[in-house]
Amino acid sequence: MSTIVAPSLLSADFGDLRRDLEMINRSDADWLHLDIMDGVFVPNISFGFPVLKYVARYCTKPLDVHLMIVQPEKFLDRFKELGVYSVNVHYEACTHLNRVIWEIKERGMKAAVTLNPSTPVCLLKDVIRDVDMVLLMTVNPGFGGQKFIEHSIEKVAELKDLIAQTGSHALIQVDGGVNMETAPRLVKAGVDVLVSGNTVFSAADPEKTISELKKL
Ligand code: DX5
Ligand code: ZN
């Protein structure tokens, strides 16, 4: 299986969103990654349903939603209505994580659990068979363009072991500081899905950059 590439819209030009969505549609990107922030779970606010409505209308790629919000379960029906493909909820934001995972799956969406850089992989032991994907944050969530946290490579290896030991089918996704230097190392360590914001959207040729990530 070739690497799944999910550009993060956070680094797009929101003044010319339609143009950037058309670039994504033309490109080899597999999914579009959408970062939703509430200013409570993370120290930033991004965009919400009024913007997502147009993203869902114009984007032809599956939508991968990363919820950096408290009480993500409140909004699952809204994401289902938008036709979202996968929903990432943070381990740190869900008191009843097992219930939230099943609520996502019951709505026909893929369920993913996200870990902050300080949250250990071993805490996933009791949910790893239930999730379709684990997102390892490779920066502290909230902002694009941050520096990759090196320890993340070890976490990818640990997660790969946990998945193998438990017979889970979860994909391994990484998000934050993914660039042409870190991406090959992440893929080598076992990553299935690369999220990339700044590297894609600040490139001279974003479509070519997406294709290059895809070839890793
Ligand atoms: C950060 C977001 C990321 C962000 C990644 O909280 O979850 O998806 O867009 O941006 P880069 O690739 O620029 O680090
Ligand atoms: Zn993200």
Q: What is the DSSP string of 72-129?
A: GGGGHHHHHHTT-SEEEEEGGG-TTHHHHHHHHHHTT-EEEEEE-TTS-GGGGTTTTT
Q: What's the 139 CA to ligand 1 centre distance in angstroms?
A: 8
**pTM for the predicted model, two decimal places:** 0.98
20 CA distance to ligand 2 middle (Å):
17
* Closest C-alpha to 62, from 105, 17, 30: 30
Most informative mutation of 143, 191, 200 for ligand 1 (most atoms within 8 A of CB): 143
What pLDDT, on a 0 to 100 scale, did the predictor assign at position 189? 98
- For residue 149, give both structure tokens: 């946290």
Atom of ligand 1 nearest to the CA of 42: 6
Q: What is the pLDDT along the chain (216 residues), one digit of tens a residue?
A: 689 999 999 999 999 999 999 999 999 999 999 999 999 999 999 999 999 999 999 999 999 999 999 999 999 999 999 999 999 999 999 999 999 999 999 999 999 999 999 999 999 999 999 999 999 999 999 999 999 999 999 999 999 999 999 999 999 999 999 999 999 999 999 999 999 999 999 999 999 999 999 999
Pocket probe mutation, ligand 1, options 35, 115, 138, max atoms within 8 Å of Cβ: 35
pLDDT of 92: 98
* pLDDT recorded at residue 144: 97
pLDDT of 86 reads 99
88 lines ligand 1 (CB under 6 A): no
Q: Which atom of ligand 1 is nearest to the CA of 142?
A: 6
Look up residue 144 and give its two tokens. 């694009």
List the catalytic residues: 35, 175
Distance CA 69, CA 36 (A): 7
Q: Is 7 in the pocket of ligand 1 (CB under 6 A)?
A: no
> Shortest CA distance to 19 belongs to which of 207, 213, 167?
207
Instruction: State whether the beta carbon of 145 lies less than 6 angstroms from ligand 1.
Output: yes
Rounded distance between C-alpha atoms, residue 56 and residue 49, angstroms: 10
Q: Ligand 1 within 6 A of 197 CB?
A: yes
CA distances 22 to 19, 58, 164, Å, are: 5, 8, 38
Q: How far apart are CA 164 and CA 117, in angstroms?
A: 22
**Most informative mutation of 10, 33, 135 for ligand 1 (most atoms within 8 A of CB):** 10
